[in-house]
């Protein structure tokens, strides 16, 4: 019986046996949660964004439909990626980085300008945001570089890594997209930290980032305006964060009930950046904490897998990807709760958005692929 299950004839069975089913289950649960919340957010988003009231009346679930399509596409891509052997998954991650950089490089020429930034490129019917795919790519690349460096100390992995990072930051600031730049920096910093670089070097990198931040504050006026208006709000109730706070405050312990939310209609981007506020208004504090716990559980489960992995590369990559998802969650929640200035960060798996959904599903696929059970993968020296 054991012998039969170990054969590779049944690829799906083998996949099912080796995959971390808890991570997959949490991922699917989050996708369902996001779809349900999209039912609440879609009419409000259609109402806010459509030019005519009649469009809102005719197609209140315009965004829900698209969200559903993205969720299914995301789940499928995560499963496909998770089936790859670890080396191929790593190569795919690095490929995503290279492709992402290439697309970022041509964005100033071919990109679509939305709200003053060129962040999107139109591929067929899809609007893709390459910066979303660059993040998991860079993390995988970083983990790879560190693991190669360990095997071959003479290999200049760190220098290559920081050169690639420098190019990326240049391209992102050029868009401009300060929020993604900060997230990317934090992701790389976490991988560097996990990789066990000496604290001295990490402090030096921190100093460089701080200088970069100060320079950005000096030279990027819209970022300066955002931070100043966050620190010294003139009329909080009129800002999007103020409206999000009103929406959240309207929820209370149990929420006003599904579909009963009213403040959400007053909220900009209720389906993307501020979907969490919509969730609190309609489902209340308790269920929203449930959502946070679910997201935290996903991140914690990946960290647990990273802890147990014996392979240096997989450990770094899984921990780095989990950190990315966790950071994005935290930043989004912090913006919703007016702890951080508005950044345009989505809530992973919950917010509407094709690029974000596909990139995060891709990351989940990579996490699943790296954390698959295989001989010698878990418990150092046990197998």
Partner 1 sequence: MKDLSPIALPELPDQPAFMASAPTLNVLADEVQLVRQTRVRIIMGMVVFSLFFLLLVSRLAEISLLRAPKTLHGMPTSQVKARADIVDRNGALLATSLRTYSLSANPKKVWNVVASTEAIISALPDLDPAVVESRLSSNKSFVWLRRNLTPKERQAVFSLGLPELEFAVEPKRVYPRGRLASHILGFTDIDQNGTAGVERAFNAQLFEAGGADIRLSLDMGVQFAVEDELRAGMKKYGADAGSGIVMNIKTGEILAMASMPDFNPNRFGAALPHERLNRASMSLYELGSTFKPITMALAHETGVIGHEEKLAVQDKLVIQSKSITDDHPSSVALGAYDILAKSSNRGAAMIALRSGAEAQQDLLRRLGLFSRVPIELHESAAPLVATKWQDITTATVSYGHGISVTPLALASALATLLNGGVYVEPTIEKHRIGKAIKSQRAVSSQTSEYVTQMMRYVVTDGTGRNAAVKGYEVMGKTGTAEKLIDGAYVKNRLVTSFVSAFPYSDPQYLVFIVYDEPKAYEGSWGYATAGWNAALSARAVVERIAPRLGVRKIVETSALSHGVAGGVQ
Give the span between the Cα atoms of 216 and 209, in whole angstroms.
10
Which residues in 197-226 contact partner 1 (CB under 8 A)? none
Q: Which stretch binds partner 1 (CB under 8 A): 71-79, 96-104, 130-138, 240-248?
A: 240-248
Residues 6 or more apart whose CB falls under 8 angstroms from that of 35 comprise 64, 67, 68, 71
Interface with partner 1, residue 171, by CB under 8 A? no
H/E element holding 119? strand 117-123
* CB of 82 or CB of 288, closer to partner 1: 288
Nearer CB in complex with partner 1: 179/326:
326
Our CB check for partner 1 shows the closer of 125 and 153 to be 153
- What's the CA angle centered on 348, arms 58 and 19, to 5 degrees? 115
Q: Which is nearer to partner 1, 150 or 226 (CB)?
A: 150
Q: What is the three-class DSSP state of 120?
A: strand
Q: Taking CB under 8 A as the rule, which mask of x and - marks residues 301-340 in contact with partner 1? A: --xx-xxx-x-x--xx--x---x--x---x--xx--x-x-
140 touches partner 1 (CB under 8 A): no
| 245's tokens | 């706070």
Stretch that binds partner 1, among 33-41, 72-80, 205-213, 250-258 (CB under 8 A): 250-258
Nearest to 172 by CA among 145, 133, 208, 225: 133
b/e for 132-169, b at 16 or more Cβ within 10 A?
Answer: bbbbbbbbbbbbbbbbebeeeeeeebbeebbebbeebb
Contact 36, 283 (CB under 8 A): no
What residues between 264 and 283 interact with partner 1 by CB under 8 A? Answer: 265-266, 280
Query: How far apart, in whole angstroms, are the C-alpha atoms of residue 294 and residue 281?
Result: 18
Task: Tell me whether residue 91 is exposed, middle or buried, using C-beta atoms within 10 angstroms of its C-beta: 0 to 12, 13 to 18, 19 or more.
Answer: middle
Of the residues 85, 207, 252, 258, which one makes contact with partner 1 according to CB under 8 A: 252
193 binds partner 1 (CB under 8 A): yes
Which residue in the set 195, 278, 358, 364 belongs to the binding site for partner 1 (CB under 8 A)?
195
Per-residue mark of binding to partner 1, 29-48 (x: CB under 8 A): ------------------x-
What is d(CA 190, CA 321) in angstroms, rounded to the nearest whole number? 10
- Does position 18 interact with partner 1 (CB under 8 A)? The reply is no
Q: Which residues bind partner 1 (CB under 8 A)?
A: 47, 52-54, 57-58, 150, 190, 193-196, 237, 243, 245-246, 248-253, 262-263, 265-266, 280, 284-285, 288-289, 292, 296, 299-300, 303-304, 306-308, 310, 312, 315-316, 319, 323, 326, 330, 333-334, 337, 339, 378-382
């Amino acid at each position: 019986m054991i012998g039969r299950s170990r054969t590779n004839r049944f690829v799906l069975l083998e996949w099912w046996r080796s995959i971390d089913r808890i991570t997959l289950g949490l991922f699917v649960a989050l996708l369902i949660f996001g779809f349900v919340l999209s039912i609440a957010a879609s009419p409000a988003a259609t109402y806010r964004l459509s030019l005519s009231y009649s469009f809102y009346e005719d197609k209140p679930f315009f965004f829900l439909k698209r969200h559903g399509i993205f969720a299914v596409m995301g789940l499928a891509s995560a499963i496909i990626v998770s089936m790859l052997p670890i080396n191929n998954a790593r190569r795919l991650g690095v490929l995503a980085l290279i492709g992402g950089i290439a697309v970022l490089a041509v964005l100033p020429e071919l990109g679509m300008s939305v709200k003053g930034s060129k962040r999107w490129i139109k591929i067929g019917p899809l609007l893709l945001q390459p910066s979303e795919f660059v993040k998991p790519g860079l993390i995988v690349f970083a983990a790879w570089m560190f693991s190669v460096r360990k095997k071959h100390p003479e290999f200049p992995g760190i220098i290559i890594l920081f050169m690639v990072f420098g190019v990326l930051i240049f391209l992102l600031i050029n868009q401009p997209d300060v929020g993604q730049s900060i997230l990317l920096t934090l992701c790389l910093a976490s991988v560097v930290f996990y990789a066990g670089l000496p604290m001295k070097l990490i402090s030096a990198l921190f100093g460089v980032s701080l200088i970069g931040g100060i320079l950005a504050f000096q030279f990027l006026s819209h970022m300066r305006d955002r931070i100043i208006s966050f620190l010294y709000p003139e009329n909080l109730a009129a800002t999007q964060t103020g409206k999000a706070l009103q929406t959240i405050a309207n929820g209370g312990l149990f929420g006003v009930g599904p579909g009963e939310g009213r403040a959400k209609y007053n909220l900009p981007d209720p389906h993307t950046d501020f979907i969490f506020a919509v969730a609190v208004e309609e489902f209340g504090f308790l269920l929203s904490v449930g959502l946070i716990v679910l997201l935290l559980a996903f991140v914690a489960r990946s960290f647990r897998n990273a802890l147990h992995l014996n392979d240096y590369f997989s450990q770094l990559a899984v921990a780095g990807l989990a950190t990315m998802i966790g950071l994005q969650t935290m930043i989004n929640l912090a913006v919703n709760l007016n702890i951080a200035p508005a950044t345009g960060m989505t809530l992973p798996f919950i917010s509407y958005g094709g690029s974000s959904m596909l990139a995060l599903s891709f990351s989940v696929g990579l996490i699943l692929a790296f954390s698959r059970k295989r001989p010698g993968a878990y418990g150092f020296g046990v197998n």
